[in-house]
Amino acid sequence: MKLIRFKVNKSVKYGVLAEDSVIELRGNVYTMFRQTFIKHLLSEVEVVCPVRPNQIWGPKYNMVVGDEGYVVREYGIDPWLKGSNAICGPNEAVMIENDLFSRLGVTTSLVAVIGKQCKKINAKNVSKYILGYTCGIDVASKRVSKEGVTTWKAKSADNFSPVGPCIETDFNADKFSVTMEINGNVVQTFKGSDLPYSPQEMVSYISHQATLQPGDLVFVGGPEPHAPVLYEDVISCTIDGIGVLTNSMVEEYSSKKNGCMESSQQLFQGKLVI
């Protein structure tokens, strides 16, 4: 089931994606909800960020492309934590100061959405605490990170963690692939098996340090592509079975509110809807 958060008639609601329509939900998506008889055409609603987390976690390992595939230079999860201000949804612009554009780090990732409060859970039990999975883009300033300041300053600028377009509750996190595009060109594709840690291991590890609450996010991580990310570039994260997350890099204080304006249907079209 694909859960989406959408805006219609100035109200934000949760719904279930049903081909080219969305069915409104009543209740709490983290506890108990039901489908209503209210249906909207997907083309008539605005798909927004599917979740509003308190915590955004991710791994700090260093992956590069080697002669025989992806190589991890630095093992150890050593998670980073972003502020909730970093969250944004599909088609929202990532606004960055001009002097940061030549030194941006951008990765695409599968993201686990916590469904129940959890603390010190075993990896084999993680699925009981997951609402579902979504797509994510992790943006960071390399310039700031090289100045010796803490990771939060490099990663926690506004809109530095786009996620969406939906939460897939039936996703197989044991077998997945992530494709990153810049301006419509594929720059890398990697599989879950390329990563040093599984989504379940990531969530388990973090839960031993911090209590995770419903709606919190855990980025699984991925390699950083060699392709540079520049002003007005459009970044896309595609995960089969979930959809396509697209965001643009926009100059801070620019009058452009959205650098990419795909329709709601384009977020889920074709083979991406499974």
Q: Is residue 211 included in any domain, yes or no?
A: yes
Q: Is the pLDDT of residue 262 over 90?
A: no
Q: How many CB atoms lie within 10 A of CB 41?
A: 11
Q: Give residues with Cβ within 8 angstroms of 28, minimum separation 6.
A: none
Residue 74's pLDDT band, with cuts at 50, 70 and 90, is low
CATH number of the domain where residue 82 is located: 3.90.850.10
The residues that bridge with 27 in the sheet, in sequence order, are 33
The DSSP bridge partners found for residue 47 are 6
Domain count, the chain: 1
Answer whether residue 22 is part of any domain. no
More confident residue, 71 or 247: 247
The answer to whether residue 206 sits within a structural domain is yes
The neighbour count for residue 87, using CB atoms within 10 Å, is 22
Of the given ranges (9-13, 199-203, 258-262), which has the lowest mean pLDDT? 258-262
Q: Is the pLDDT of residue 76 over 80?
A: no
pLDDT of residue 89: 96
DSSP state of 212: B
pLDDT at 142: 74
pLDDT per residue as tens digits for the range 177-226: 999 999 999 999 999 998 888 999 999 999 999 999 999 999 998 887 76
pLDDT tens string 101-122 = 557 788 999 999 999 999 999 9
The domain of 169 spans: 49-272
The Cα 271–Cα 230 span in angstroms is 29
Other Cβ atoms less than 10 A from the Cβ of 52: the count is: 12
Q: How far apart are CA 118 and CA 101, in angstroms?
A: 38
Q: Give the pLDDT confidence score for residue 23 in this predicted structure.
A: 97
Q: What is the pTM of this model?
A: 0.89
Q: Which pLDDT value is given to residue 196?
A: 86
* 176 neighbors 170 (Cβ within 8 angstroms): no
pLDDT band for position 98 (cuts 50, 70, 90)? low
The answer to whether residue 222 sits within a structural domain is yes
**In a domain? residue 116:** yes
Q: Is the pLDDT of residue 70 over 70?
A: no
Mean pLDDT, rounded, of the chain: 85
Q: What is the mean pLDDT of residues 234-255?
A: 87
Q: Categorize the per-residue pLDDT at 15 as very low, low, confident or very high, splitting at 50, 70 and 90.
A: very high
How many angstroms from the chain centroid is the CA of residue 22? 21
pLDDT band at 79; cut points 50, 70, 90: confident
27 lies in a domain? Answer: no
- Please check whether residue 32 lies inside any domain of the structure: no
Q: Is the pLDDT of residue 274 over 50?
A: no
- pLDDT at residue 255 in the model: 46
Mean pLDDT of 69-83: 72
The verdict on residue 156 lying in a domain is yes
